[in-house]
Chain A
Amino acid sequence: MKEILQISNLEKVYSNGSFVKKAVDNISFSVNTGEIFGLLGPNGAGKTSIIKCICGLLDYEGGDVLVNGYSMKSKRRKGLKYISAVLEGNRNIYWRMTVDENLDFFSGINGMSRSSIKDRKEYLLQQFQLQEQRNQVVNKLSRGMKQKVAIAISLITNKDIVLLDEPTLGLDVAMSHEMRKLLRSVAKEEGKTILLSTHDMNVVEETCDRLVIINEGQIIAKDTVSNLKTVFNNDIYQISYIGVINNSLMSGMEKIVVKLEIKEGEDHSKMIIHLHEATELFRIFEMIKEAPIKLISIDRVTKNLEGIFLDLLKEAGTHEVF
């Protein structure tokens, strides 16, 4: 599959007098045509800076961004032929103009005539269920509706890549779910490449094919969503028991497991063990059999992306997540 977007060794430094901050630190990844790619990270991780560098709205100090082979540093205008974006929520709309007027204006300033976008406009209004609101001033629409309008505007010019900065920020649960469904259908039906930045794990988990997790301007994980979940869910077990774990059992288990957590409860306690491989569970069984505790259950723990994300941030040393 063709890599339509290539980001290599990207560096962005903000400086103001003595204040210097490296917002993007040697970031590299590529996005394939037709893929939904996620940039996941806590607030201030550098997601928006990366998106703006890709759009050519922010100069970068190191590395390069290639859009369909065009450098956003030296061939910005050519690269922009392939990119549309919804930045910072839904601020790409004129709130005092109607939905229809907005769609006409944004297609017009991209050099398209009203007649050439007629069918596409109708298709998008239908796809985004905006037919009834088409003649309403955007200001009077709900936040979710405004977000739909913003995304419809980004699609009206039919460019190959759509960049979405926090597309579900501030939406209620139902609208956020609808938005995720919409993004999936846009990528599937129209073959668009979507790069979205978010700190909402559910969005990434439900929509993205691949993702990078960013923290303090650096990539801390890069993989497919399913791989990341598989890798991080390897051999984690929760053992429920009654009784007290004595020192010899504890020291014996500590020699086998990667990580051991004990959560004591009133009627029973739980221990969560991370193993190198599943076969080590047999050795744990042998030890428990000899110990003065009563086993209640053993369950395999499956982590969602949120758990993985938090673990990764913990490993990277970030305490403040949101």
Chain B
Amino acid sequence: MKYFNSFIAVCKKEWIELKRYWFNTVVGLCMFLLMFMALFSGAKSIGQNNFSLMDSLEGFLIGYALWFLAMGAFADTAHAIIDESRKGTLEQLYMTDVPFTWLLISKNMISTIIYSIIFVVIILIQTKVTGITLNLDFISVFITLFIGLFSLYGIGLILAGLGLIFKKIQNLLGVTQFILVGIMIVSPTSLPFVRLLPFVEGREMIMDIMRNGYSLWDFSIYNWLFLLANSIFYLVVGIYGYKIAEMQVLKRGMLGQY
């Protein structure tokens, strides 16, 4: 019950902040869609006589929306911790009856739900505007996203740990966004090891659902286990990396400093 109550508290706080900063969210969304329209128009004009590119526009649409989602997911964890440290509230979160890791996981779960809703809105607008038809099986997409995004939260935790120690990591966050673009583009068919990278398996499965009309049952147990293992691996690595940073921070008394 203690864990449930703390989950509800985190949930309410996220909702309050979303309501209070709705303008920022809406502007971010509009900018994202405008950029998509510009990129999509460019890609379409180039691909008018190029059958294969026209064929991959669906992939471009989904990939772009997933990139937005993934960017939010990993940066959200890092920003959240650094922001709490800056405000001075991080120390309070470390003093609660439930472990801080649980509060963080709660926040990630809520963020996933919020990002999934935004993802649905983006996809719906994109399909309307472009006229591209996709398989909109949102339940299958949500479940895959829910599992897959935890690998990115793991990366976010490592960045948060670095943020606690070095305080200013904006440049690193910027670079990571470009690395993420790479992760979203590179195909595991040509480079099989790419599947080991965070979220790549999830991305491939979502592509299959939306582009090829797959449902949850069409994936093999191997796919699910690989997705789960990938997420757990990066989350554990992330937690471990964060704990190492945390040990340093607790030793130096830097938890509340920014």
Contact = CB atoms under 8 A, between A and B. Distances in A.
B213 interface: no
Interface stretch (A90-98, A204-212, A241-249): A90-98
Given A14-B252, A92-B88, A111-B1, A56 B95 contact: yes
B26 interface: no
Interface in A65-86: 77, 80-81, 83-85
Q: Of B92, B250, B252, which is in contact with the most chain A CB atoms at under 10 Å from its CB?
A: B92
Nearest to B247: A59
A107 B93 CA distance: 11
A87 B87 CA distance: 12
Contacts of A29: none
Given A55-B91, A57-B95, A109 B256 contact: no
Contacts of B113: none
Given A57-B94, A57-B250, A59-B250, A87 B256 contact: yes
A113 B88 CA distance: 24
Interface string A142-168: 000000000000000100000000000
Contacts of A16: 252
B91 A81 contact: no
B98 A109 contact: yes
Contacts of A106: 92
B20 A96 contact: yes
A108 interface: yes
Nearest to B7: A108
B189 interface: no
Contacts of A104: 9, 12
Contact of B97 (A88, A105, A111): A111
A205 B188 CA distance: 71
Contacts, number: 95
A80 B2 CA distance: 15
B253 interface: yes
Interface residues of A, number: 36
B88 to A, nearest CB: 3
Contacts of B17: 96
A55 B94 CA distance: 9
A121 B247 CA distance: 35
Interface in A91-144: 91-97, 101, 104-113
A198 interface: no
A108 B91 contact: no
Interface in B12-39: 12-13, 16-17, 20
Interface in B92-108: 92-99, 103
B99 A92 contact: no
B178 interface: no
B12 A85 contact: no
B255 interface: yes
A58 B249 CA distance: 8
Given A59-B250, A94-B89, A108 B6 contact: yes
B5 interface: yes
Contacts of A59: 247, 250-251
B10 A57 contact: no
A49 interface: yes
Q: Of B8, B91, B255, which is in contact with the most chain A CB atoms at under 10 Å from its CB?
A: B91
A52 interface: yes
Given A57-B255, A87-B256, A91-B256, 10 more contacts: A14-B253, A52-B253, A57-B250, A85-B91, A87-B92, A93-B89, A105-B13, A106-B92, A108-B8, A110-B97
Nearest first, the 8 closest Cβ-Cβ pairs linking A and B are: A108-B9, A91-B88, A111-B2, A58-B253, A92-B92, A110-B97, A109-B6, A59-B251
27 contacts: A14-B253, A56-B95, A57-B91, A59-B250, A80-B97, A83-B95, A85-B91, A87-B92, A91-B256, A93-B89, A94-B13, A94-B87, A94-B89, A96-B17, A96-B20, A101-B13, A101-B16, A104-B12, A108-B10, A108-B12, A109-B10, A109-B98, A109-B103, A111-B1, A111-B96, A113-B1, A157-B97
